[in-house]
């Protein structure tokens, strides 16, 4: 207890205000997601009783065994004109749960109410979707708290940079939708410049290291984008299966290129800032260090991070395809077909990102050395 009190006394008034704001936001948002039923237009029901009615074993044409269950659900309506009434729902689900799920007492569901049952005391209806906002908010808070506890100030800055970048991206997409004549790649180029400047300044502050990293990031991303574009153009995009790209309402090549562009940006920034801060670190330790020594150590650092950075992108892109690959394979699709159908775009993204990462190593090295020389000439 005494430790806590002394810790508390060490806090500055600024920190106390910050903690108070975060605490209030936390409590307010948790209360809100628990009582926001009336903000929804779609009817919401909370499960109060479930009853398993029927179990059947089924085997599909590919010899996959599964179990189908039918569940009777009694739920209480939480909003709208029927608030407080009881509704009866049925739910079919399987053990695999690819597009269905078992519901438990306490789950909140979006439902539709059958019109012919209206007026009677016992309503019936069907389930539309699950209310997930509560959990998204909980996990967002766990994320924020863990980042703040571990990262302190840096954690706060990375949360801010995430939020600012997300808003910026959303705004950029609005601009594109408002005026589809402007090219998405152009809009993304402008956003990429903004993203880079904002994120790197937030992570590293105003100094030469950051300026060198910003220039290296921009050069690295644009050069790698150019190479990717050139390859796509030369090969006339042979081997890319755009038809499996999900959620498409727009010209797919544009969306794909813009995705490659933004996707590799984070990794390229990471490489650029690592290169510039470590080379500046060496210079600050020893102001008379030769350019040749800086080059060798810089290249060594670059070699060290090259492998892990490309692997980060690789896993971030490919892992998302695991469920669909399993679905294809279980439906007796040949392995080669499954992979080329579902992984071509992800692999292209990962490889293009990798090219960006590797190119940024020499680019970062030489831009930083340029800035070091400038600083040396001035002092």
Binding to another protein (CB under 8 A) within 70-129 occurs at: 94-99, 101, 110, 129
Binding to another protein (CB under 8 A) within 270-289 occurs at: 270, 273-274
Q: Which CB, 35 or 42, lies closer to another protein?
A: 42
User: Does 7 interact with another protein (rule: CB under 8 A)?
Assistant: no
Q: Which CB, 105 or 374, lies closer to another protein?
A: 105
Q: Which of these, 285, 225, 223, 271, lies nearest to 368 by C-alpha position?
A: 271
Nearest distance from C-beta of residue 115 to another protein, angstroms? 22
Q: Torsion angle of alpha carbons 37, 43, 46, 52, nearest 10°?
A: -160
Site string for another protein, 290-329 (x = CB under 8 A): ---------x--xxxxxxxxxxxxxxxxxxx-xxxxxxxx
Question: What angle, rounded to 10 degrees, do the helices at 13-34 and 133-178 form?
Answer: 100
**Cα 38 to Cα 24: distance, rounded to the nearest angstrom:** 22
At 119, give phi and psi (nearest 5°): 100, -40
At 32, give phi and psi (nearest 5°): -60, -50
User: Does 374 interact with another protein (rule: CB under 8 A)?
Assistant: no
Binding to another protein (CB under 8 A) within 199-228 occurs at: 199, 202-203, 227-228
Q: How many residues bind another protein (CB under 8 A)?
A: 130
Stretch that binds another protein, among 20-28, 70-78, 114-122, 161-169 (CB under 8 A): 161-169
Nearest distance from C-beta of residue 4 to another protein, angstroms? 19
At 86, give phi and psi (nearest 5°): -95, 140
**Cα 154 to Cα 194: distance, rounded to the nearest angstrom:** 20
Binding to another protein (CB under 8 A) within 123-142 occurs at: 129-133, 135-136, 139-140, 142
3-state helix, strand, coil in the chain (%, to 5): 65, 15, 20
**Cα 248 to Cα 236: distance, rounded to the nearest angstrom:** 21
Stretch that binds another protein, among 46-54, 80-88, 111-119, 245-253 (CB under 8 A): 245-253
Q: Which of these, 142, 144, 124, lies nearest to 82 by C-alpha position?
A: 124
Stretch that binds another protein, among 6-14, 18-26, 37-45, 74-82 (CB under 8 A): 37-45
Q: Which of these, 339, 261, 272, 260, lies nearest to 305 by C-alpha position?
A: 272
User: Does 258 interact with another protein (rule: CB under 8 A)?
Assistant: yes
At 71, give phi and psi (nearest 5°): -120, 130
Nearest distance from C-beta of residue 169 to another protein, angstroms? 6
Stretch that binds another protein, among 1-9, 13-21, 81-89, 234-242 (CB under 8 A): 234-242
């Amino acid at each position: 207890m005494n430790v806590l009190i002394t810790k508390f006394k060490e806090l500055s008034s600024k920190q106390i205000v910050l903690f108070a704001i975060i605490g209030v936001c936390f409590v307010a948002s948790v209360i809100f997601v628990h009582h926001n039923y009336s903000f929804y237009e779609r009817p919401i029901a909370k499960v109060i009783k479930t009853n398993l009615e029927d179990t059947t074993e089924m085997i599909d044409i590919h010899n996959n065994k599964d179990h189908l269950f039918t569940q009777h659900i009694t739920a209480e309506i939480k909003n709208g004109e029927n608030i407080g009434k009881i509704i009866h729902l049925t739910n079919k689900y399987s053990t695999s749960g690819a597009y269905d799920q078992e519901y438990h007492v306490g789950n909140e569901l979006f439902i539709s109410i059958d019109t012919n049952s209206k007026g009677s005391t016992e309503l019936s209806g069907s389930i539309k979707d699950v209310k997930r906002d509560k959990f998204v908010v909980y996990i967002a808070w766990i994320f924020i708290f863990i980042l703040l506890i571990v990262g302190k100030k840096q954690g706060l800055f990375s949360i801010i940079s995430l939020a600012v970048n997300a808003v910026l991206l959303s705004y950029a997409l609005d601009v594109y939708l408002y005026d589809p004549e402007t090219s998405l790649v152009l809009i993304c180029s402008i956003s990429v410049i903004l993203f880079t400047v904002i994120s790197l300044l937030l992570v590293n502050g105003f100094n030469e290291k950051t300026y060198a990293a910003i220039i290296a990031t921009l050069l690295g991303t644009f050069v790698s984008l150019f190479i990717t574009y050139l390859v796509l153009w030369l090969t006339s995009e042979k081997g890319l299966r755009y038809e499996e790209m999900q959620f498409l309402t727009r010209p797919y090549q544009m969306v794909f290129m813009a995705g490659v562009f933004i996707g590799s940006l984070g990794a390229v920034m990471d490489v650029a800032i690592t290169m510039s801060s470590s080379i500046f670190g060496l210079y600050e330790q020893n102001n008379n260090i030769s350019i040749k020594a800086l080059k060798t150590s810089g290249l060594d650092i670059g070699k060290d991070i090259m492998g892990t950075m490309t692997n980060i992108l690789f896993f971030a892109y490919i892992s998302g395809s695991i469920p669909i690959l399993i679905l294809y394979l279980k439906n007796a699709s040949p392995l080669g077909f499954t992979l080329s159908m579902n992984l071509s775009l992800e692999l292209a993204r990962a490889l293009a990102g990798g090219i960006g990462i590797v190119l940024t190593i020499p680019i970062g090295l030489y831009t930083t050395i340029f800035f070091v020389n400038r600083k040396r000439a001035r002092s």
